[in-house]
Amino acid sequence: MENHPLKRRDVLKLLAVGGAVIGGLQYARLASASEPVGNSKHKWVMVIDQAKCIGCGYCTMACRAHNDVAPEISWNKVIQVGKIGEKQVFLSRPCMQCEHAPCVEVCMVKASYRRADGIIMMDYDRCIGCRYCEIACPYNARAFNWKPFTGPNPAVPTWGSPEVPRRPRGVVEKCTFCYHRIDRGLSLGLTPGVDEDATPACVVACPVQARAFGDINDPESVVSKLLAQYSSYRLREDLGTMPHVYYLPAREEKTA
Amino acid sequence: MKRLKKPIKINITTFHLWLAGLAAVMGAGAVAGVIVFARGLVVTNLTDLVPWGLWITIDLSSIAMSAGAFLLCAAVYILGLKRYQSLARTATYIGLIGYSMAVLTLMLDIGRPDRFWHALVYWNPHSLLWEVTMCVTLYLTVLLIETAPIFGEMEWMQTRFPAIAKRLTGLHKLAPYLAIVGLCLSMLHQSSLGAAYGILKARPILYRPDLSVLFMVSAMAGGPSLTVLVSMIANRLTKRAPVNDELLEKLTHYIGWVLVGYLYFRVWDALAMTYTYQPGKTEGLNMLTKGPLSFNFWVGEILLGTIVPIFFLLNKRLRLNPILRMVALGLVVGGVVAYRWDVNMAGQLLMLTYLPQQIVPRYTTYMPSLIEFLAGAGVVAYGIFAITLGVRYLNIVNHNTITHEPEPVPEVATLPVTVE
């Protein structure tokens, strides 16, 4: 041992063990990379019609109230995106709930995970606040709680009342398609997208019905029909994230 | 009045002043750290667009500066270059301190430091940061075992706790195995830090596989540079740090060649981005070469960080001049830090919008807050403080006392395995 600190055989043994470990991890990686948690026959999709959107921001406010979001954070952001003729066009941006979500792939503690119905969830009790998901998200859909949100929520009660617990300081948060409304609604036998109590708050709040919500696996749902009837697009499709939020582009005349 | 004749010996030396100065910076850093924990990250200038800033740069840089440890241990125990054993000792100690600095900055940086252990318990092996966490944890353990003999050989330990000291020193037997494990973990770690940025589709300038290679190669230059620099500075300041200049000179020659390789990769990497216009990527490169990061890039990284040290380190006459050599090594260290800063910033100061038909770059700015500077300076001061104490009390720079006399590699070990 002293004379020959390292024998060739020892090196080979170590390499074999190392190889086995890496192989095992690779197996674990393949198994966990894109597999959704649980199983579901639904796949929730949101369709936002830019021809109808008037940029009022009701969606943002309703979201803030129902999800108890701090005033400086917008889970759903409304952005001005140029004009068609005289008409200002807006883009309302919730979380895209990507099929291949970069945030889920990079989260080291699996605080971000994908449910089988397509919703990207956040486990606020598990998040350590490293903010890697913020850097990874191409849509800036994530917000970090830089400071604690204390005191009353100015959006409450005008825009609704909180249905989920407030997040603590130091974790990342984002839109969850109001999963709590969907889950509760389904358990009561309601249909998300049809019954208001089972539909995301932003969809319900929209005064011009620019938003539609529903199950894309159901050909009779509102969203399936809209997507079959009109041409649609998704944001940054070049990235291959496959968002579950579809946009109907602004047109000269309102048709949808 | 005998006592007065022999007063308490408070002989304030430059050494004490140096330690006091460092302690003051550490104290300021500790206060800043307490403020961060009490008030949260709102005291930083980080935003949702630039969520990683100065602290991440310090974290990445201290990991890079620890790379001397795995390189020199591999040289000694795997390549059999036993004459470098005393340098491996210095490098391993610096590695331990560097990794502990990284852990300190990470604790500052995460939003929920109370949940740091989640990273070890809840695994997502698909995440690069998971890999980074595992490497930090495992390699820090390796470094602790590798440096255990250094603590075991400490005079105070040997007189006060001879049994423990013997145990610690005995861990030296594991060194060859640890060298292999350390080599694997360390290379994984250095490259996965680059990959942590390289996989980010949302950040066009970063989205390329080259970052892993560049992170590793730059660490292979920066790590040993700091090891040699610390050895040389310690040697000039105290008699406790005798060095074999021939060894240091040889190692710096090696660093010079690594820098040539690094420059090649860096230039190739940059040129490969310029061929056609690519939204975001081209603007990102422009930001480096002409924009807000250009001084850092051209002067910090390329000229002072790479080209000048290449000349100083590859030319034997210049290399033999200790002052020039130390300047060059310091420049290499600075260049690697500048590189880490540029990668982190270039990726975040620019991002593509997600608007349809309007995929345009969007710029933002970031300047660390005072609290960030103070806490960061505190961590760096801690590192320098620990290395100073190491030189003073742990003999980390001492090329005279090689506890295990170097032996030539037995010829049989170099022969290929024959099947009998």
Distance CA A254, CA A62 (A): 25
Q: How many whole angstroms separate alpha carbon A206 and alpha carbon B43?
A: 37
pLDDT 10s digits, B129-188: 999 999 999 999 999 999 999 999 888 888 889 899 999 988 988 999 999 999 999 999
List the one residue out of B143, B89, B68 whose CA is nearest residue B399.
Answer: B89
- Which residues in chain A touch residue B112, judged by CB atoms under 8 angstroms apart? 127-129, 168, 170-171
Amino acid at A197: D
* Topology given in CATH for the domain delimited by A33-248: Alpha-Beta Plaits (3.30.70)
CB-count burial class (<10 Å; 0-12, 13-18, 19+) for A191: middle
- Is A172 in CB contact (< 8 Å) with chain B? yes
Last residue of a domain, one of B321, B347, B363: B363
Spatial contact of B91 and B179, defined as CB atoms under 8 Å apart: no
β-pairing, A44-49 vs A245-248, is parallel
Interface of B with A in 63-102 (CB under 8 A): 77-78
Query: For residue B384, what pLDDT is reported?
Result: 97
User: Is B358 part of the contact surface with chain A (CB cutoff 8 Å)?
Assistant: yes
The whole-angstrom separation of Cα A57 and Cα A44 is 22
Whether residue B344 is found in the same domain as residue B249:
yes
Closest CA to B366 of B46, B6, B2, B33: B46
What confidence tens digit (pLDDT) does each residue in B246-288 have? 999 999 999 999 999 999 999 998 888 878 888 888 889 999 9
B150 and B128 together in one domain? yes
CA B23 vs. chain centroid, Å, equals 21
Domain assignment of residue B116, yes or no: yes
CB pair distance less than 8 Å for B201 and A91 = no
β-pair partners for A87: A84
Residue B359 lies in a domain: yes
Residue in this structure with the two tokens 């060859």, named with its chain if needed: B176
* 183-222 in chain A: CB under 8 A from chain B: none
- B350 pLDDT exceeds 80? yes
Percent of chain B with pLDDT over 70: 92
Indicate whether B408 pLDDT > 60.
no
Q: Is the pLDDT of residue B6 over 90?
A: no
| Sign of the torsion formed by the C-alpha atoms of B34, B37, B41 and B42 | negative
Residues B23 and B124 in one domain: yes
Residue B7 is predicted with a pLDDT of 57
In terms of domains, do B184 and B237 share one? Answer: no
Tell me which residues of chain B, numbers 171 to 190, contact chain A at a CB-CB cutoff of 8 Å: 173, 175-177, 180-181, 184
A167 contacts A145 by C-beta, under 8 angstroms: yes
* Contact map slice: B 17-56 vs A, CB within 8 A: 39-42, 46, 48-49, 51-52
pLDDT at B229 over 90: yes
Domain boundaries, chain A: 33-248
- The residue of A92, A99, A135 whose CB has the most chain B CBs within 10 angstroms, and thus the best one to mutate to test that interface, is A135
The distance of A207 to chain B (nearest Cα, Å) reads 23
Please state, in angstroms and rounded to a whole number, the distance separating the CA atoms of residues A192 and B246: 76
Select from B119, B175, B413 the Cβ nearest to the Cβ of A128: B119
Judge whether B302 and B310 are in contact, CB under 8 Å: no
Tell whether B300 is covered by a domain.
Answer: yes
User: Domain check: are B192 and B212 in the same one?
Assistant: no
Structure tokens at B36: 């961060």
- Whether B294 is in a domain gets the answer yes
Asked whether A92 and A77 are in contact (CB, 8 A), the reply is yes
* CA–CA gap between residue B84 and residue B399 (Å, rounded): 9
Residues of chain B numbered 101-160 and touching chain A (CB < 8 Å): 109-112, 115-116, 118-119, 122-130, 132-133
Would the CB atoms of B356 and A28 count as touching at under 8 Å? no
How far apart are the C-alpha atoms of B247 and B87, rounded to whole Å?
8
Residue ranges of alpha helices (H) inside B238-321 are: 245-271, 281-289, 294-295, 308-314, 316-320
Residues B283 and B193 reside in one and the same domain: no
Give the count of alpha carbons within 13 A of A42, CB side only: 18
B111 to chain A: which residues are within 8 Å by CB? 127-131, 144-145, 169-172
Contacts of B43 (CB under 8 A, 6+ apart): B35, B36, B369, B371
Count of residues in chain B: 420
Which of B51, B119, B354 shows the shortest C-beta gap to A131? B51
CA B58 vs. chain centroid, Å, equals 9
Helix axes B14-39, B370-393, angle to 10 degrees: 140
Nearest CA in chain B to A137: B202
Other CB atoms within 10 A of residue A225 CB: 15
Residue B321 is part of which domain span? 205-363
B173 and B209 belong to one structural domain:
no
Same domain (yes/no): B121, B55: yes
Maximum Cα–Cα distance across chain A: 87
Are B43 and B175 found together in one domain? Answer: yes
> Is B375 a domain residue?
yes
Is the pLDDT reported for residue A29 higher than 60? no
Does the CB of A102 have a partner CB in chain B at under 8 Å?
Answer: yes
Residues 4-23 of chain A with CB under 8 A from chain B are: 4-8, 10-11, 14, 18
CA A209 to chain centre: 21
Q: Is A136 on the interface with B (CB under 8 A)?
A: yes
Going by DSSP bridges, is the β-strand pair A143-144/A172-173 parallel, antiparallel, or unpaired?
Answer: antiparallel
User: At B39, which helix (H) or strand (E)?
Assistant: helix B14-39
- Quick one: A10 exposed, middle or buried, by C-beta within 10 A (0-12, 13-18, 19+)? middle
Among candidates A1, A81, A106 on the partner chain, residue whose Cβ is nearest the Cβ of B129: A106
The answer to whether B221 and B259 have CB atoms below 8 angstroms apart is yes
A147 → chain B, closest CA residue: B42
Beta-ladder partners of A122: A112
Computed over every residue of chain A, the mean pLDDT equals 90
Say if B279 is an interface residue toward chain A (CB within 8 Å).
Answer: no
A82 neighbourhood in chain B, CB within 8 Å: 358
* Bridge partners (DSSP) listed for residue A77: A93
Render pLDDT for B78-130 as a digit per residue (tens, 0 to 9).
999 989 999 999 999 999 999 999 999 999 999 999 999 999 999 999 999 99
| Contact in structure between B106 and B59 (CB atoms under 8 Å) | yes
B49 with A140: Cβ contact below 8 A: yes
**Mean pLDDT of all residues in A155-181:** 96
Whether residue A242 has pLDDT greater than 70:
yes
Statement: residue B20 has pLDDT above 90: yes
Query: Which residue type does B90 have?
Result: T
What pLDDT is recorded for position B418? Answer: 60
Q: What is the mean pLDDT of residues A63-85?
A: 93
Q: Which helix (H) or strand (E) holds B382?
A: helix B370-393
What is the predicted pLDDT for the residue at B30? 97
pLDDT: which is higher, B232 or A33: B232
DSSP SS3 for B291: coil
State the DSSP string of chain A: --SSSS-HHHHHHHHHHHHHHHHHHHHHHHHHSSPPBS--S--EEEEEETTT-----HHHHHHHHHTT--TT--SSEEEEEEEETTEEEEEEE-----TT-HHHHH-TT--EEEBTTSPEEE-TTT-----HHHHH-TT---EE--S---S--TTTTTT----SPPPPTT-EE---TTHHHHHHHHHTT--BTTBGGGS-HHHHH-TT--EEEEETTSTTSHHHHHHHHS--B-TTGGGT---SEEEEPP-SS---
From A29, A134, A170, residue closest to B48, measured CB to CB = A134
Q: Is the pLDDT of residue B200 over 60?
A: yes
Test B410 with A3 for CB contact under 8 angstroms: yes
Task: Please report whether residue B401 resides in a domain.
Answer: no
Q: What is the number of structural domains in chain B?
A: 2
On the question of pLDDT at A3 being above 70, the answer is no
Clarify whether residues B57 and B186 are in a common domain: yes
